[in-house]
Amino acid sequence: MDARKAAVDAYKEQKTLAGIYAVRCPAIGACWVGRAPNVMTIQNQLWFALKLGSSPFRALQAAWTAQGPEGLYFEVLEKIAAEELQPFRDQALKARQQVWCERLGAVAL
């Protein structure tokens, strides 16, 4: 029980890193850029929805269906400490997402 409790305590102590991420599909030349309050967990959320076929992002879901999980690549583009974003986290993340979309010629998620 001590190891489990230690693992839970360590998880709770982790700092949340907000940021910007990209999902790329080289086979079709597509790139999507998203923002998340915690970039360390967003890939699991995206992949779970895609596996279920329930992603709200139709083009991304279509790429997943056509190429499979091996055809998509996830990368964190920018990490930002949550404290740096307060009090306007959503606006700051949206602005950074737009910068990355323009830089990569990507579609916003």
Per-block average pLDDT, block size 10, for the chain (109 residues)? 76 80 97 94 96 96 96 95 76 94 96
Asked whether residue 16 is assigned to any structural domain, the reply reads no
Q: Count of domains in the chain?
A: 1
Asked whether residue 38 is assigned to any structural domain, the reply reads yes
Share of the chain above pLDDT 90, in %: 71
Residue 20: φ, ψ to 5°: -120, 140
Asked whether residue 65 is assigned to any structural domain, the reply reads yes
Asked whether residue 5 is assigned to any structural domain, the reply reads no
The domain of 93 spans: 21-108
Separation of alpha carbons 43 and 40, rounded Å: 7
Provide the whole-model pTM.
Answer: 0.84
Asked whether residue 10 is assigned to any structural domain, the reply reads no
Residue 76, burial from CB neighbour count under 10 angstroms (0-12, 13-18, 19+): middle
Asked whether residue 92 is assigned to any structural domain, the reply reads yes
CA contacts within 13 A on the Cβ side of 89: 16
Asked whether residue 8 is assigned to any structural domain, the reply reads no
